[in-house]
Copies of this chain bind each other. A is one copy, B any other.
């Protein structure tokens, strides 16, 4: 049992990480601008880490031994190029320094596959050039460079989990899997790209498990949070559509790829499996089935609530 400071706790990964940490008997100090669900052994701290002094106040009052830093600017679509990315460099470095100065000993931060140059087939922690094509990737890379030196100076053991593509229940519908699932279940026509690009997808529950394993271990430096498997987006969307029983309403090829999107993004997962000792448990087909089922339930609830709200309208 240890006291874990968890930022981004109300986010997509953060909510699933909370489940994993609680299952492992940790005490969770959850940081978010607004408190999420109340649970036993979860203490919420309503803090905007972008405010000067916020990270320092939090770290010094808590004296946590472990830090899992997931918070970042994450508005779907916009996060790739929003200037907010730049502010999160400073906020993250302030947090790490305050955590280390308050006696913190182990930290895991969320990085991204977008730190790597896009174009190599398999992205490896050792060997693939770090030449981000996006502002988001560049600001994560910048954070990692400075955080590495801060951690060394303060004697904090720091792991840097590079997140690839993910999906699962509770994801913002502005993102791929959720958007397609929700749209098709709501009876809409859903335009997509041609979907020939291949990506490395991992279920959010596994991403959360990987971060918990990373934090619990002593591996330092960059670790791909990746499955090691490439799936064509077209195949993934087809899987979703079959589950939703609406293959005929997918319109492949109607959306363009974002400029510079490479044909393949897949991570070498050997550091994660061999050094951290974590293997993802969820097969893609099962994870997609679960996600589509979650959205079906969610839409039914929304419809009931909508109907009841209309009935109660004066």
| Partner-B contacts on A (CB < 8 A) | 52, 81, 83, 86-87, 89-90, 93-94, 97, 130, 132, 134-135, 137-139, 141-143, 145-146, 148-150, 153
Excluding A86-B146, A134-B149, 9 further A-B contacts by CB distance (< 8 Å) are A83-B97, A89-B90, A132-B145, A132-B149, A138-B145, A138-B146, A138-B149, A141-B146, A142-B143
Q: Whole-angstrom distance between the alpha carbons of A138 and B93 in the complex?
A: 12
**Also in contact, A86 and B81, with CB within 8 A (given A134-B149, A142-B143):** no
Chain B residues positioned under 8 Å from A149 (CB to CB): 132, 134-135, 137-139
Chain B residues positioned under 8 Å from A132 (CB to CB): 145, 149
Majority secondary structure, A binding face: helix
Contact of A139 among B52, B94, B146 (CB under 8 A): B146
Contact of A93 among B81, B86, B93, B145 (CB under 8 A): B86
Chain B residues positioned under 8 Å from A139 (CB to CB): 145-146, 149
Q: Whole-angstrom distance between the alpha carbons of A90 and B146 in the complex?
A: 12
Oligomeric state, in copies? 2
Q: Whole-angstrom distance between the alpha carbons of A52 and B150 in the complex?
A: 23
A-B contact list, 21 entries, CB within 8 Å: A52-B52, A83-B97, A86-B90, A86-B94, A86-B97, A86-B146, A86-B150, A89-B90, A134-B149, A135-B149, A135-B150, A135-B153, A138-B145, A138-B148, A138-B149, A138-B150, A139-B149, A141-B142, A141-B145, A141-B146, A142-B142
Q: Whole-angstrom distance between the alpha carbons of A142 and B138 in the complex?
A: 9
